Structure 1
Amino acid sequence: MASVPASAIGQPIPVSSAYIPNNRPARTLVLCFDGTGDQFDADNSNVIQFFTLLKKDDKHEQMVYYQAGIGTYTVPQIATPFMAKISQTLDEMIAWNLDAHVMGGYQFLMENYEAGDKICIFGFSRGAYTARALAACNLQQVPFAYKMFTRTDETGWNQSTAFKKAFSIDVDIEFLGVWDTVCSVGLIPRTLPFTASNTSIKTFRHAVSLDERRAKFKANLFNRPTKEEVELGTHPGDMPKSDTIPALRHKPSTPPTNGSSKPKAKDLHTLEREFSERDKINFETDVLEVWFSGCHCDVGGGSVANDVPHNVARIPLRWMIRQCFLSNTGIRFHSDLLPALGLDPAALWPKVLSRPKALSNADIATIPVVPSTSANVDPSTAKHDRMSTSETLVNYADVQPAGPNTVLTEEQEDLLDIRCEIYDQLTLAPAWWVLEVLPLRHKVQQETDYWASEYYFNLGRGRQVSEKHQQEGVHVHRTVKTRMDATDLKQGKYTPKAIFDHKKIIWED
């Protein structure tokens, strides 16, 4: 079974290892980018929740990197608090420091990447956009080519391609996992190449909001590159490919003075080795985008206080973790922290087990309950007026688990979570309506793969799923059906806001 059997409720889950997976064929570099206004605080996003679960104590097995969201910090060169605050405000509004966000992650890769390392990148909201931009930046490689990389005309493509060939080692992204990427960064759109498509990514997983309807939060779904984009980039055989054989790693008794443990001989071998036939092998990105109930922060997290035991965002968090194991990323998680999310380590490793049938709404009565630990919080103190993903919106679910040490099955956790409140910012923060009544530009990829610009008034409409993205079906998480079937929700009967043909739904676990 994929979850703890009912008889095990209240009992600890036995695990054979402190970390899973417990075999390490290659080192993993994990980079996490938080959403707009998000950082470690009282209402953490799924990025921090995910980061918390990662093994961090052995850099020879796994290295991790976390970057707070756009609008939370400024570049180090700004010294005065006044200018730093202005920079942070501009960053949240128009992504003033987008280049610093992207290149901060890239610097981490530059300083730590060794041959054979697996690169895995995660992000939420505009942090998801940053993550996808960083994955694209690896196609260009060198930091001083960033300005060329940001140019989307033919000159920019040619210049950045030339820099890549001259100074870089071509590396692939093992896994890119994002929660609800938005189409552009900031109120004034700033876009970067390859944030909608990228041929260097092996596996792409995207949790998408069914109910977000703000004009500036259109979903940035994965699109195949146009013929021109493919031709303008580098091609197999144009430049050396990073060795897939892990570098020999030493564990020195004293840390190296430059902060790196790279064996110099291996680096030279990697940089100097000749092209091989495997470098010419093309692969197509394994893409899966699954839609979940809830608005933007209900998918990426940050809508409720950390001490609220259940919320809708926990469902796409569990899904993303499961995808890490299904895709054999090698990312190492703390075994003892997974049960609190409703994940059984034995159901994820060494083999990912199939999930049991989902519970129905009628099964809610069979789950042990106690009064909510947040019952003493005054609802009037909840913050409903902020336009950042970092707001706190306390969720007063009627049903709570039976105590701090209770272990529920994943299916029970799903049922408790999917019945929680959804936080629609157009209702909670009416100031967002200013943008709904303005004719804003939106980019749409046509059937021919080419992009066109459209201007229209959004007026609070749900996300439109293009015919192109409906051709092979719309992947929707099975908990959406559970919420649609519920007749006793606090917010009334649920119908997804996204616009698409429901006959094309493919239900996902």
Structure 2
Amino acid sequence: MARTTSSAYAPKRIILCFDGTWQTAVSGQQNSPSNITRLCRAIKPVARIGDQDWQQVVWYDSGVGTTSLAVSKMLEGAVGDGLDGNIVEAYNFVSMNWNRGDKILCFGFSRGAYTARAVAGLIADAGICEPHKLHRFPDLWKQYKNLKRKGAFYNSDDYFQFVDGKVSEHHRKHPGTATGLAWEMHANPGWAQTDSREVEVVAVYDTVQALGIPEVAGVQLPANLMWWKDPPGWHNVTLSRQIKHAFQALALDEYRKAFYPEVWCLPSGYPNAALPEVRAQLEEEVKSKREVLNKAGARQRQLIKEAEEHGRLHPTDYETLDRLANGINKASKKVGEARRDYMVSHDNLHLGTPQLTQVWFPGYHINVGGGSSDTLNNYGDMEEMSNIVFAWMLDQIAPFVGIRETTIKDHYKDRQATIATLNAALEKQKEMAKTESWGEYLGRGARWLGSAVMHPLTPAPCTETRHYTWGLGDMPDSFSTMYIANGQKPRAPSSNSYIDDKKEKGIRGATCAYIHPVVNYRVQHKEGYLPMGLTEKQYSRQLVGKEFFYTLKEETLPEWNLGGKGSYELLALEQDEAAIEYMAQQHHAEAEKLLSEVQAKRQARANGA
């Protein structure tokens, strides 16, 4: 029977989404969707991006702390246990679905953001293997998790040992091998598929470290007491040059130490290959270093061939085999050094600097990532701030992901309907209160008192008519009794990331961070609000030239320029007339147009009345 030919390959965007701590969209229970869940549900199965149609394949992973058992749920949520499995599952999914030319995009919230960055780091470090090689992944994972290594796995001795293998220098322990040569670790040449180390987008909400050692009463527990998991620090969540675009939304007001953010900074110190003279120099370096690598590789292969022949002819000559193995391992080390030099020059020639944007918003951790359980009970801001953040994120990723715009607009309609329903219920309750008996009044008061006793930190349901505002809703403090032992650590927005080591001090790199204009709108229109618990002397916003800059304590950051015509940010702004007027006063061109439209409609209504 003749083999049928396959149809032309359709390129894919493989979209990996990792939800926040204790959050899941697949429990079958009623929940308030996080911004990750909302994104997953708004992605088109097929989208035209640029001049090409792309399939969009979505992988959704529930957050840590979403197991069924209460104790396991609490443990996972508190210390991030379970993350390794999430990383391996995601890599396995990518390996079975990726083809050359496909794009990888990673999204996450909270510890799911850490997972997204760790998966992107793994792909950038090790590349994507073909599915039939996945049985060797445990060997890679073991090398990847080497806690003694400093720096990234890519281009490290561990990486080269995995690729080139290591010959045993104790053949007496391994007699009778098929090739005549015993290996401690088999070589994995060609592990990663061509061009498989590139990640198109990593976009996250408020990354928090998943494997930090928890504290009890402010005292950090020793790593050896954490018997259920590996010590922290080996995941690669930095901004690798293999990541082309990176975006992060951050919460200004969060101060739980356990939720201190992982802020990116740009990699620095690399030559600018865009300059013709630099590019010419790098091309020469790549050519010469490739020749050195080829010679070292040829020598290594020759030694392996000679050793295997000797092993087949003299399988019990252990002393000679061990000596030959020692020579092979030394040659392999030289190959690794030559490959490292070559790959550094090759990457300098072909890799640019990632696009990085990080923006700070008012509110706590959950207000940025969305999905607060308070929303189901008519508490808090009813996802008001998370909607603003979501709109910002959609604008950033719009060039890379096909989004159903109707889904977003329908969400705003649903939210307005929810608010209208709550307001109607509140009015009905007020009317009933006017006619209820004394006994009914006492019974209602007793139920409220009992709830307050059992749940002292739970805010009372909203008792006032709700209106959609641009970031003025109440946001309950996230610092509950569960986090007292871990203590507080206010956030510190900065334009630079600093090295804070006993042996080294200085600037690590630029954070490319901004303050969203909704911050100052909230300061001016929400009585008593100042970000990060600052005093009036510690907070200021000033116009310098044509840009606004914020000073928070001693750090100065620029204001984010709100999206223009057709942006999701503008759609979020449209819901609040006072906010439109505020942004128009800041000379935002599209807000000025919106204000004119609002005023015209207002005048028309007045004339009609």
TM range (shorter): 0.5 to 0.7
Tell me what 2:126 maps to.
Answer: 140
Residue 245 of structure 2 aligns to a residue in which SS? Answer: strand
Alignment check: 8 A CA contact 1:36 1:127 kept: yes
User: Shift of residue 72 of structure 1?
Assistant: 1.1
**Structure 2 counterpart of 1:493, one-letter code:** Y
Tell me what 2:182 maps to.
Answer: none
Alignment check: 8 A CA contact 1:128 1:178 kept: yes
Aligned counterpart in structure 2 of residue 131 of structure 1, from 110, 116, 125: 116
Tell me what 1:495 maps to.
Answer: 531
User: Shift of residue 64 of structure 1?
Assistant: 0.3
Residue 372 of structure 1 aligns to a residue in which SS? Answer: helix
Alignment of 1:349-360 (within 5 A): none
Unaligned stretches of 5+ residues in structure 1: 1-23, 74-80, 229-234, 240-274, 344-367, 402-415, 455-465
Tell me what 1:210 maps to.
Answer: 252
Q: TM-score, normalised by structure 1?
A: 0.61
* 1:289 to 2:363 alignment: no
User: Shift of residue 483 of structure 1?
Assistant: 0.1
60-69 vs 375-384, which deviates more?
A: 375-384
Call closer, same or farther: CA 1:379–1:26 in 2, change over 3 Å: farther
Tell me what 2:173 maps to.
Answer: none
Provide the rounded CA distance (Å) in 2 between the counterparts of 1:161 and 1:394: 59
Alignment of 1:3-402 (within 5 A): 26-40=11-25, 41-56=30-45, 61-73=55-67, 87-138=72-123, 139-141=125-127, 143-144=137-138, 145-154=140-149, 157-163=156-162, 166-169=190-193, 170-185=196-211, 187-188=213-214, 190-225=232-267, 280-303=349-372, 304-305=374-375, 310-325=383-398, 328-329=399-400, 331-341=401-411, 372=423, 375=426, 398-400=465-467
Provide the rounded CA distance (Å) in 1 between the counterparts of 2:358 and 2:554: 16
Provide the rounded CA distance (Å) in 1 between the counterparts of 2:120 and 2:45: 22
**Structure 2 counterpart of 1:72, one-letter code:** T
Alignment check: 8 A CA contact 1:94 1:190 kept: no
Tell me what 2:483 maps to.
Answer: 432
Provide the rounded CA distance (Å) in 1 between the counterparts of 2:143 and 2:452: 45
Alignment of 1:455-474 (within 5 A): 468=507, 474=513
Aligned counterpart in structure 1 of residue 501 of structure 2, from 418, 435, 452: 452
User: Shift of residue 318 of structure 1?
Assistant: 0.8
Alignment check: 8 A CA contact 2:494 2:557 kept: no
Tell me what 1:352 maps to.
Answer: none
Tell me what 2:514 maps to.
Answer: 475
User: Shift of residue 166 of structure 1?
Assistant: 3.9
Larger helix proportion, structure 1 or 2? 2
Alignment check: 8 A CA contact 2:266 2:510 kept: no
Call closer, same or farther: CA 1:226–1:214 in 2, change over 3 Å: same
User: Shift of residue 29 of structure 1?
Assistant: 1.1
Provide the rounded CA distance (Å) in 1 between the counterparts of 2:497 and 2:403: 42
Residue 104 of structure 1 aligns to a residue in which SS? Answer: helix
Provide the rounded CA distance (Å) in 1 between the counterparts of 2:117 and 2:389: 18
**Structure 2 counterpart of 1:182, one-letter code:** V
Provide the rounded CA distance (Å) in 1 between the counterparts of 2:529 and 2:71: 43
Provide the rounded CA distance (Å) in 1 between the counterparts of 2:411 and 2:213: 35
Q: CA offsets, 1:264-298, max 9 Å, x none?
A: xxxxxxxxxxx9x9994111111111000001101
Alignment check: 8 A CA contact 1:312 1:421 kept: no
Provide the rounded CA distance (Å) in 1 between the counterparts of 2:510 and 2:257: 24
Tell me the percent identity. 21
Alignment check: 8 A CA contact 1:207 1:292 kept: yes
User: Shift of residue 177 of structure 1?
Assistant: 0.6
Provide the rounded CA distance (Å) in 2 between the counterparts of 1:132 and 1:479: 27
User: Shift of residue 171 of structure 1?
Assistant: 2.5
Call closer, same or farther: CA 1:369–1:67 in 2, change over 3 Å: closer
User: Shift of residue 131 of structure 1?
Assistant: 0.4
Call closer, same or farther: CA 1:186–1:71 in 2, change over 3 Å: farther
Call closer, same or farther: CA 1:91–1:496 in 2, change over 3 Å: closer
User: Shift of residue 216 of structure 1?
Assistant: 1.3
Call closer, same or farther: CA 1:191–1:506 in 2, change over 3 Å: same
Q: CA offsets, 1:383-421, max 9 Å, x none?
A: 99699xxx99966774336xxxxxxxxxxxxxx140111
User: Shift of residue 501 of structure 1?
Assistant: 3.6
Call closer, same or farther: CA 1:92–1:30 in 2, change over 3 Å: same
Q: CA offsets, 1:415-461, max 9 Å, x none?
A: x14011112222xx133222217xx9x9x99989755279xxxxxxx
**Structure 1 counterpart of 2:525, one-letter code:** A
**Structure 1 counterpart of 2:88, one-letter code:** M
Q: CA offsets, 1:27-62, max 9 Å, x none?
A: 211111011111124222111121111124799711
Q: CA offsets, 1:226-280, max 9 Å, x none?
A: 889xxxxxx99999xxxxxxxxxxxxxxxxxxxxxxxxxxxxxxxxxxx9x9994
Residue 137 of structure 1 aligns to a residue in which SS? Answer: helix
Provide the rounded CA distance (Å) in 1 between the counterparts of 2:79 and 2:390: 28
**Structure 2 counterpart of 1:425, one-letter code:** S
What number of residue pairs does the alignment pair up?
Answer: 372
Provide the rounded CA distance (Å) in 2 between the counterparts of 1:384 and 1:50: 36
Provide the rounded CA distance (Å) in 2 between the counterparts of 1:227 and 1:337: 43
Alignment check: 8 A CA contact 1:29 1:117 kept: yes
**Structure 2 counterpart of 1:174, one-letter code:** E
**Structure 2 counterpart of 1:183, one-letter code:** Q
Provide the rounded CA distance (Å) in 2 between the counterparts of 1:383 and 1:314: 32
Residue 204 of structure 2 aligns to a residue in which SS? Answer: strand
Provide the rounded CA distance (Å) in 2 between the counterparts of 1:384 and 1:311: 28
Provide the rounded CA distance (Å) in 2 between the counterparts of 1:446 and 1:453: 22
**Structure 2 counterpart of 1:193, one-letter code:** H
197-206 vs 163-172, which deviates more?
A: 163-172
Tell me what 1:462 maps to.
Answer: none
Alignment check: 8 A CA contact 1:395 1:421 kept: no
Alignment check: 8 A CA contact 2:384 2:473 kept: yes
**Root-mean-square deviation (Å):** 4.6
**Structure 1 counterpart of 2:467, one-letter code:** Q
Alignment check: 8 A CA contact 1:212 1:296 kept: yes
Tell me what 1:245 maps to.
Answer: none
Provide the rounded CA distance (Å) in 2 between the counterparts of 1:236 and 1:33: 38
